Structure formats: C-alpha cells, structure tokens
Structure 1
Amino acid sequence: MNRYKKLGWNTFIIGLGSMGSKFMIFLLVPFYTFYLSPSEYGQADIIMMTVSILVPIVTLSIADGVFRYTMERASKKQVFSSACAILLIAGLILILLTPLLKNIPMIQHYYWLFLVLLLVQLWNILFQQQVRANGKLILYSVSGLLMSLILLGANILFLKYMDMGVTGFLYANLLAFTFNTLCLFFGAKLYRLFSFRSINRPLLKKMLIYSLPLIPNAILWWVMQVSDRYILTFAIGIAANGLYTVAAKIPSLLSMINTIFFQAWSISAIGEKLKQNDSFFAGVFTLFSSLFFIATEGIMLIVQPFAGTLFSAAYQDVWKYVPFLLIAVLLSSFSSFLEVSYMVEKKTKQLLFTSLKGSIVNVGLAVLLIPIIGILGASIATLLGFLVTWLLRMKQVKFFRQLEHKTTFWISMGLLLAQSIYLSFIATPNIAVQVVFALGIIVCQGIVGKKLVKFVRVSRKSSEEKKAW
C-alpha cells in the first residue's frame, strides 16, 4: 500500500498548486467572453495554440528526455546542460528565420509578441520537467499558483482597464510565463546544473532517440485537440472558433485533473519501472477511471445552467457542444494513463502509431462533418479520434485483460455516451432524464467503490500480518 500512499502524496502536492492555478485560468474564461468578442478570442486562441504545437517541434521534445533520464539517475548536470544546448540552438534558428516566419497570415500582426512568447515557453517547459524530475514538487506547484495570480492581474489590467484586446491577452500570458520561468530557474537553482563542459554528446544522443518520436506524437495529439479549430476557422469563420474555444474550456476542468494526476503518476511509474501487468497498474486505473466517470457526470448535469449564468449573451449556446468534448477528454485521459507504460519501457515509437491513426480519424471526420453540422461536427470528430487512440493503446499494451470491473466500466461508458447524444441533439433537455443517467453512473461506481474498499482492507490486513511475521 506504500505505493498508493506515495502516489496520493505526489498527486496532493502537485494538485495543491496546480489545481489553484488551472482553476484560476478556467475562471478567466467568463472574463474573456465579456472583454473579447468571439472573433478576438478565436484569434488569441489560434496564436496560443500555434505556440503550444511549436514547442515540442522546435525543442525536439528534449524536455521529455530530461525528465526520463533524470528519473533514471543519470547525471543531472549532464542531462540539463545537454538539453540547454538544444534550446540555445533552437532559439538562434528561430531568430534567423524571422524574415520568413513573420509573413505567416495567422500571426503576422502579432509576430514579435508571438516569438518572445514561444522563446519563453521553450525554457519554461524544460525547467518544469527538470524541477519535477528533481522532486521539487512544492516549488513546482507554488510557482504555478503564483503564475496564475499574475495572469489574473495582468488580464484585468490589459483587457478591462487598458482595453488592449488580443494584444493585452498575449501580454498577460507573456508576463505570467516569464515569471514562472524565472521562478523555477532561480528557485530550484538550475543555474548550478548548467555548464558547457557538461554537455555530453553520447547522452544527448540517447535522450534524442527517446524524445524524437514524441515530436510527431505531440503533433498528432495536438491535431486531435486543436486541428478542429483551424478547420472551423477556414470553413465557417474565426467567430465559430471563438465559440468552440469557449466550449472546450468547460471540459478543461477534467483536463486539469488529468494533468495533475499524470504528473504524479509518471513519477511513480517511471521511478518504480512499473509494468502494465502489475496489479498496482490496474488498481490505479480503476480508481482513476471511477473518479473521471463521476466528475464527467457532474459536469454534464451543470453545463447548461453554468454556461447561461457565467458567459455573455454571445456565448450562451456553447453548452450544446460540450458533452461530446467531455467524453473526448475522458478518453484522452484514459489514453494518457496508458502512455506511461510506453514511457517506462522507452517504446515511444509504438506510442506514435496510435496517435497517428487517431488523428487521421479526427481530421477526416472534422473535414466531413463541420460543413454539414458546424461546431457540433468538430466535437464529434474529436471524440471519435480519441476513442480510436484509446482502443488501440488498450489493445497494444494488452490492457483489456487487466481491466478490472469490466461490466460496470462499459456500462458507465455507455451511459455517458448516451447522455452526451441526448444533451447535444435535444433542444430543451429534461432534468428528470438527466437524473436517471446520473443515478446509473452512481450505482455503477458505487459497486466499484465497495469492491475497492474491500480490496484495501484485505491488502492492509495482509501487510500487517507480514510485518508481524
């Protein structure tokens, strides 16, 4: 049971700061809907999403290699210094390519802000992974919380009082990310880990062999999460992307839980070199999936009144697009859980193929459905893309055999899918029908909860007997 306690403690520490920071970012969504029009919000979102996809490409996803090899007890100084060399070269190349990049239509009016924001985020992700691998989880969490407070204050200043629109949105993010980057660098004294003499080419080669397959994987993951927004922009208009962006922010409540758990889970799994056939792996997934089924149902119940209360008139109908996106995030979270087993065994190439097939399904369906049913088509395409990815990973790691409480798991999944269809296609959903779906989920997860409590008691008793022996 010590492994469960350690995982729980890591999740608590990371969640203490991250939950506050991510929830603060979520709370900014209603603020944005009042001070940015759908077209402005769509433009700002396109820029931020472009930055997010360029980070793993420009850095060769070396930050993931830093985390993996630091956890493997390699020389921290050599790992960090070698990664810094990659980022220094990447930054120089970006600056040299400025005459070409500044002509890209979607970002040309905000190019210099875009470039500086990208450069800051390159270092930010590296420092985050190094700090997390070093076990400095309190610093990691507190810096994230402080970052969110700065983001809040900067947005109020630039959008409400200075009325700077998209430019103010970007300035606020730049200020917050810069603070977080400096806080991690000096707080963890990362400057002590850098030395040109410590750059180790053989080690860097190993790190790149591990991290390079994660570049297309990150791109494909991004395709499933974000490509719909580009298709919506071109097919319907940037205002439609603004509406879809707001709709996608509501399921981000689930995403933030998954992000927090994934960070703690990867530390436990990689640190202990956990195999997917380990009973601990299956047990954690049972807890994880049960939590997510309940959380997803909870958001389903409140999404309509929530949107009507918090968002401005221009965004009142976005709740219709949320249910399918909620299921997409649920499936994405299940896929991320299984991703750790690939990381443990350094089989990042196999990981790539599952993301590739899922992204093909997503993009193909988005191109087909968006012209027919608009924003709702983007939500459905995203759901099916993540469904394909998750099922392929389940098959590839042979987790169908390890899956516990199969009947209640699949019934819960079916209930949520049926409820999402009901909410998305019925003009005025009936609360009584909603309650029936919710009771079904509660009963299923209640059965799982009873079995988990029984398992914990038996395991604790067995552990005590071993100590006594």
Structure 2
Amino acid sequence: MSVLKKLAGQTAVYGVSSIVGRVLTYLLVPVYTAYFAAAEYGIVTGLYAYVSFLNVVFTYGMETTFFRFANRPGADRRELYDRVLSLLLVSTVVLTVLLALLARPLLSLLEIPPGHEQYAIWIALILGLDTLTAIPFARLRLENKARRFAGIKLAGIVLNVGLNLFFIVFCPCLLKAGIARPLVEAIYNPGLGVGYVFLANLFASAATLLLLGRELLDFRFRFNLGWLRPLLAYAFPLMLMGLAGMVNETLDRILLPKWLPEGFYPGKSSLTAVGIYGACYKLSIFMSLVIQAFRYAAEPFFFAQSTEKNSPATFAMILKWFTICCAIIFVGISLNAEDFGAVFLRRPEYREGLAVVPVLLLANLFLGVYYNLSVWFKLTDKTYYGTYIGAGGAVLTIVLNFVLIPVLGYMGSALATLACYFLMAVLCWRLGERHFPVPYPMARLGLWLLLAAVLVAVGWQVKVSDWWLRHAWHMGLTVLFLVALYVVERPQRAVR
C-alpha cells in the first residue's frame, strides 16, 4: 500500500495543476455559453478538435520516449534532454510555419467563412509554443519536481482564464457603461468575438514558455539524426497511436458537421450542433480531470516500478482502485447532469444535448482503464501494439460515426466514442495477458461497472418532476452504489 500511497500523493500534486486548472478553465464554459451562440462556440470546438490532432503530430511521442530512454541503465539524462529538445525545436519551427500557410484550407474544412484566417495562425503559434514546453515539463516530471510543474501549469491556466474574462466579459461591460472608453477601444475589438478565446490562449502559452526559463537556459542545441534514430524508432509507433487516439477522442466534432443531414435538428445549423455537443462534452471533464492527473504521475511511476519483483501485483491494485474511483464519479455526475447543465450551460439551446453526458462519462472511464492497461506494451518496448489497438479503435470510430450520425445525430457520436474506448480496453487487456501477465480483477471490476451503468440508466428512465424528490431519488441511487462498494471492498482492503 505504501507504493499506492506514493502514486496517490504524486497524482494529488499533479492534480493541483490538472484538476484546479481544468476547473478554472471549465468555469469559462458558462461564460462562453452565455456570450456566444452555439454556432460561434462551434468554431471554438471545431478548431480545438484540430489542435488535439496536431498536438500529437508536433510532439510525435517524444515525451514518453524521453521517459523510456532516461530510465535505461547508464542513460545520460542531460545529453538526452538536449538531443530530444533540439529535434523538437527544429521540427516545431517547420510545422508552425507550414500550418500558418495552410490557414485558409483548415478553416474551409470547418465551413468557417473567409475573414477569420488569423484564428488558424494563432492556433499554429499556440501549438508551436506548447510543443517547446513539452520536454521541459517532462524533465520536471522525471526529476519528481511536481510542485514546480504544477505551479507553472497553473500559472499559465490562470492567465488564460483571466484574459478570457477580461476580453469577453470585462471590456464589453466597460464599453456598455461608458467607463474608460478610449482606453478600452485601444485594446479591445468587439468584432473579434470568439477570436479572443484563441488570443488569450496564445498569450498564456507564451507566458508558460517564459516561466520554464530555468529549464530552457540549461538547454544546449545538439542535433544529430544518427544519434536520434533509436528514439525516433521508439516514438513513431507512439505518434501513430496518439493520432489514432485523437481520431477516437475528437474526430466526432470534425465529422459531425460533414455527416449530419441538413435539417436533422430543425432550425439549427451543423455548427450549432457541434457547439451543443462540444459544450455537453465539457460535462465529462470531471472524469477527464482524474485521468489526466493520474497519467502525469503514473507514466514515470510505471517505468520506475517495472524492475520491481511485485510490479504486476502493484499494477493490478492500481487499476482496481482507479476504476472504482472513476465509477463513483460516473454515477455521481450522470445522475446530476441536469443540475450541472443548469449551472454551466447558460443558454437553454446547449442543454438540449445533456443525454450524451452519461455516455461520454462512461466512455472516458474506459479510456482511463485503457491507459492503465497500456503499461505492458510500453514496458516491453512493443509500442506497435498500441498503434494496432488505436488504429482498430479509429476505424471503429469512423465507421460508427458514419452509420450513427445520420440516424442519431450527436448521440451517435457519443455512442461511437463509448464503443471505441470499450473495444480498446478489451483488446489491450487480452493482448497484455499474453505478453505481460498482470492479475487484474477484471470480473469484479466488470460487475461494478455494470452495476453503475444500471443505476444511472434507472435514474434517467424514472423521471421525477418534483425538485426535492428528484434529488432524493438520485442521491439514494448514489448512496446505494457507495454502500455496495463499502460492504464488498472494505474487507478486501482490511485483509491486505
């Protein structure tokens, strides 16, 4: 249990930047949904979907590669840091310039009208700056400098949130009140609209790079492709796996406006549907927060534990408690989605898509399970298996979106996401049993997830109109799940 407590402690520290930062960012959702129509927010959702893809291309698996080679016997971590960061510096400059030149074609894919090319240019600069911070952040994680990591991450997020509030809320209020009008008009353009979302992100990314000045000043440029060949050989399958993962995670918001039949949602454009789906997707952030914080701590932790004799038992215990914690989140958020929607989705048009929230929460839960299970192919240097699994999930995502979007709209996209992550988790588990056996308690975890899904389904199907009775009903279902966990799992923990 001491090992588990150590991982939990590191997860908690990383969670300061991940969870607190994400919560601060998530508090912008009520602002966006109050000040921007769903069609405008659809632009933000669509462009950031492309960012997710391109971020994988810009970093091409070098973070995980850095961890893997840094933990090999006799590794010179300082030289490795210089080599990897030098490679990323060269590639980032090339990719940023290329993306800026392709601004118009990128916007055309999202059916964004001409005149907004600066959005794509800002996105290119954001990607470039964020890529240059990837290896310095990875170095901090490797050196267990979680507090500095969390502090810098959080500072960038706070600046991003502050600039969003300044440009989207504060400046319009000052203009409306006639306060400091000349000064406000000198720095604020009302016509830019959602563009301030990207501009604020750009300033925050630049500030984050500056805050990593200590790690960057310690860098020496060393570029040698021959020396980097084994790194690239290890990283390339990870990049393909990452791209496949982004297909599974974000392609639905790109395909939705393309494959949604005209008039499927009466009186709403395809960008409006994307905006609604993207806003409701944000309600699954509570699951994503736990997964992201866990990943920051778990990746270097798993590599460090790989040489221990009892590492399989440790990995099994971690998956068990991770899944149970996520199942509690799934039940709690799903049964109260209407309340979260009323708080965070300010315009009623956004709340029309709340039914996708339980589906997406469960999908993200299986994604977290997959991340746990994927340790086997990273530790055995068989990362190509991750590529195969991700590619299989990507194919399923595309096929199911093609089939389900014309029939079910954005609910079809949510179901495709769930099917994809479930398939990936199952495939990773079955393949891992052959190559790196770990005694995962899959039957027990499967029963807990089944019970959680049944309780959520019952809660959604049995409608209670009275506000107090509805909350009592949902609270009762949540408590029932917690009591069942306590009764069954507490004796197991006591024996350990």
Q: Fold match, TM over 0.5?
A: yes
Quote the Cα distance in structure 1 between the aligned partners of 2:98 and 2:462.
50
Deviations 1:392-425 (A, max 9, x none): 0111112897223734x22221133334555667
**Cα distance per residue 1:88-111 (max 9 Å; x no partner):** 322342355358513312476223
Letter in 2 for 1:286: K
In the alignment, residue 333 of structure 2 is paired with which amino acid? I
Trace 1:26-425 onto structure 2 (pairs within 5 A): 26-72=26-72, 74-94=75-95, 97=98, 101-104=102-105, 105=108, 106=110, 109=117, 110-160=119-169, 161=171, 162=188, 163=190, 164-183=192-211, 185-187=212-214, 189-196=215-222, 199=223, 201-236=225-260, 237-273=270-306, 278-312=312-346, 313-398=348-433, 402-404=439-441, 406-407=443-444, 409-421=445-457
The whole-number CA distance in structure 2 between the counterparts of 1:405 and 1:385 is 19
Deviates more, 1:444-453 or 1:243-252: 444-453
RMSD: 2.5
- Confirm or deny: 8 A CA contact 1:354 1:389 kept in the other structure: yes
The 1:181/1:448 distance shift into structure 2, 3 A limit, reads farther
Whether the 8 Å contact between 2:247 and 2:394 is mirrored in structure 1 is yes
CA distance in 1, matches of 2:307, 2:406: 45
AA in 2 matched with 1:45: T
Q: Does 1:454 align with 2:494?
A: yes
CA distance in 2, matches of 1:449, 1:406: 14
Gaps of 5+ in 1: 457-469
Bigger Cα displacement from structure 2, 143-152 vs 323-332: 143-152
> 2:198 corresponds to which letter in structure 1?
L
Q: CA shift at 1:325, angstroms? A: 0.3
**Counterpart Cα distance in 2 of 1:146 and 1:95:** 24
Aligned length: 451
Change beyond 3 A, Cα 1:121–1:351: same
Q: Is the 8 A contact 1:28 1:152 kept in 2?
A: yes
* Separation in 1, partners of 2:455, 2:251: 26
**Share of identical aligned residues, percent?**
22
For residues 182 and 289 of structure 1, the distance between their equivalents in structure 2, rounded to whole angstroms, comes to 37
Q: 1:141 to 1:26 in 2, by over 3 A?
A: same
The one-letter code sitting in structure 2 at the alignment partner of 1:291 is C
Letter aligned with residue 52 of structure 1: S
* Alpha-carbon distance, 1:432 to partner: 6.9
C-alpha distance in 1 between matches for 2:363 and 2:71: 31
Counterpart of 1:81, as a letter, is D
- Give the CA deviation at 1:277: 6.7
C-alpha distance 443-96 of structure 1, shift in aligned 2 (>3 A): closer
Which deviates more from structure 2 when the two are superposed, residues 143-152 or residues 313-322? 313-322
User: Which one-letter code corresponds to 2:83 in the other structure?
Assistant: S
Could you tell me which amino acid in structure 1 is paired with residue 377 of structure 2? Y
Deviating more after overlay: 209-218 vs 114-123: 114-123
CA contact (8 A) 2:70 2:76 kept: yes
8 Å contact from structure 2 (residues 86, 221) kept in 1: no
Match for 1:43: what amino acid? Answer: I
Task: Describe the superposition over 1:226-261 as per-residue Cα deviations: whole angstroms up to 9, x where unpaired.
Answer: 111111122331111111111111111111111111
Q: Distance in 2 between matches of 1:374 and 1:216?
A: 28
2:69 and 2:75 in contact (8 A); partners too: yes
Q: Distance in 2 between matches of 1:228 and 1:423?
A: 27
Q: Identify if the C-alpha distance between structure 1 residues 400 and 246 changes in structure 2 by more than 3 Å, giving closer, same or farther.
A: farther
How far apart, CA to CA, are the structure 2 residues paired with 1:346 and 1:400? 15
Post-superposition CA distance 1:10-46 (Å, at most 9, x none): 1122123322111111222111111222111111122
1:374–1:157 CA distance, 2 compared to 1 (3 A): same
Other-structure match for 1:467? none
Contact 1:323/1:423 (CA < 8 Å) preserved in 2?
no
* Map of 1:438 onto structure 2: 478
Report which stretch shifted further, 214-223 or 65-74.
Answer: 65-74
Code of the residue aligned with 1:193 in structure 2: it is F
Where structure 2 has 5 or more consecutive residues not aligned to the other structure, the ranges are: 172-187, 261-269
Instruction: For 2:4, give the aligned amino acid.
Output: Y
- With the length of structure 1 as denominator, give the TM-score of the two structures: 0.89
Counterpart AA for 1:450: R
Separation of aligned partners in 2, 1:142 and 1:287? 27
Aligned residues of 1:358 and 1:388 also touching (Cα < 8 A): yes
**Structure 1 residue 157, shift from structure 2 partner:** 1.4
Amino acid paired to 1:58? F
Which residue identity is paired with 1:255?
Answer: S
Distance in 1 (CA, whole Å) between partners of 2:96 and 2:422 is 39
Instruction: Name the aligned partner's letter for residue 373 of structure 1.
Output: L
The AA in structure 2 aligned to 1:249 is K
Distance 2:142 2:426 in 1: 30
Give the Cα–Cα distance (whole angstroms) in 2 for the partners of residues 99 and 454 of structure 1. 58
Give the letter aligned to residue 265 of structure 1. Answer: A
One-letter amino acid of the counterpart of residue 394, structure 2: S
Structure 2 Cα separation of the partners of residues 37 and 274 of structure 1? 53
Residue range with higher mean Cα deviation, 56-65 or 416-425: 416-425
CA distance in 2 between partners of 1:29 and 1:424 (Å): 24
Question: Aligned in 2, Cα 1:393/1:308: closer, same or farther, shift over 3 Å?
Answer: same
* More moved, 391-400 vs 359-368: 391-400
**Alignment partner of 1:397: what SS?**
helix
TM-superposed deviation, 1:352? 1.1
In 2, distance between residues paired with 1:384 and 1:274? 34
